[in-house]
Chain A
Amino acid sequence: MSGINKLFSQELKILNIGTSKFKDDLELQGQDVLQLDWEPAAGGDIKLLNIVDKLSSRKEIETANKEAVKRMINSHPILVDIDKAINVIPGMKENMILHSGPPIEWDMMAGPMQGAIIGALIYEKRAKNEDEARKIAASGEIEFAPCNEHNTVGPMAGIVSPSMPVHVIYNKTYGNYGYCTINEGLGKVLRYGAFNDEVIERLRWIEEEFAPTMKKALKNTQDGIDIKSIISQAIHMGDECHNRNKAATSLFFREIVSYVIDTDVDTSVIKRVLDFIKENEHYFLNLSMPSCKVATDAAHGIENSTIVTTMARNGVEFGIRVSGLGEKEWFTAPANMIKGLMFPGFKEDDASPDIGDSSITETMGIGGFSMGASPAIVQFVGGTIEDAIGYSESMYNITEGENTNYSIPNLNFRGSAIGIDIIKVIEKGILPIINTGMAHKVAGIGQVGAGLVNPPMECFKKAITEFDRKN
């Protein structure tokens, strides 16, 4: 019997795709109809839709994406050391300064990034004051490069200069390393573009007292500190490890404290070091970020994979990189403005466009992707708990897998959505959700609010078009 004759003997079970008028009249006839909330895929762009359909049908892409996500999930980040950037970051040079986001020239940089570079040049004693620093920065003698191209990530301006100490994260599973500076706390800090004496002094203290002590403490640990384990616990304690790191910082403090005490340094130094961690509830952000970085780096360079391995912003442009495309192949578009809550005394106009490498957390499926696990963050960025859970749920539409290592209690411990697939982003028209801080557009003023932001769709359009051209 043909399928058509079979249909003649069945009850109709109807999917109605399009105008609901037809559904109404079918229901009038007592029929079982399911209405689709249909929208044209790929934002209605036929050219992109054809690419989506072509790529979606290819088995080798599916296999490659599974491999990429497997690598991200299986990655196991351990904090093993703290050392100066110049000593450990691959390709770091004496005259090099790393910054957040995709590549950018000095004169194009956002206010906070320029401010942080000025601060870094003063800190490195290359310049005495702002004027000198600006001249040097513009002279071409300093080589600027994206952190992400050097296994490094940096929050906000993301400035890393050669003498700055960095956390060294080792990926136990795949043997690669990742780096990130020490979080300076809130208020006037370099990452928001501040460069006054207080900022420079703190950076020097970190270099001279904090880092050497921590280095010793980490040596005491033998195996380092297991960051993967802290992140999975912290997510069960209300962190999403991007904008909220309270639980994770506490857990880290608990892990490190006796090793610090066991060092041979002066008690007053130990107290200062421990107080510094204790009093900065964002300390862990600079551990969470490089831990995500080692996982996404391990997933980069898999032929045929359409999984996003980097999302990063420099305050002017948003850039993404894709596993199956080149190491230095960025797909960029102007960074969006963040929508959220302003701190008292600031207005939306004061904010710089989206900036920082911290969206590496979302690339790894935490941060905005795990907001459902972090009710406390909801108020900070504006919105309701339902919104937060909704964001987490909608991310499953655009990701390849679920990371049970980082599971979300509010979703019945479902693994967080991981492995953003550019094909799915284009097809579904759903953009990754990022929750993030807002920097003042003028260098040195600091954080002015926090909220939610998406990458521009243009990045994904460019990426899928290029992927299609090459494959």
Chain B
Amino acid sequence: MEYQRLSKKALGVLAVTAALQALFSAGLLFALFALAKRFLWQGLSLWPAGLFVAVAALLYCALLPPFRHMRYRYHLGEDRVEIIEGAVFISRTIVPIDRIYQIQVSRGPIDSLFGVAKVVITTGGGTATFRFLELAKADALGEQLNAVVRKKIQAGGGQSHV
């Protein structure tokens, strides 16, 4: 089975997303340390805690995006789509083509900045998302999925399995 990988543009989005996540988590963690100092351990020094949080955030931003970029793969077949993603915990999502009832191409502000988009497929059991695709590729994938789904429905006598 042939899997496709992400382009280099996706790295930028991954990096910005990781930075925002790290900033939010670091802020929350530092606030927790400050509360702990205020109410539990007055002797706790905030400098080591702050340093620990900063180093953790930097490591997160430096290591996570390339890992995620390296792991992310997707496959569009005649009878199913597959998405493999994750850095530490890897999830392989399989969706049979005839379960798909909606295809949506969308992009947020960070996606637009880097010229990428995501394709969201909706089934009766939830959604699966192809992320960090170049815009042209996302549009092409959406159309390709649409064609495959239509072909499958016609071959199945017009019956959907949703």
A binds B: no
Q: Which residues of A contact B (CB under 8 A)?
A: none
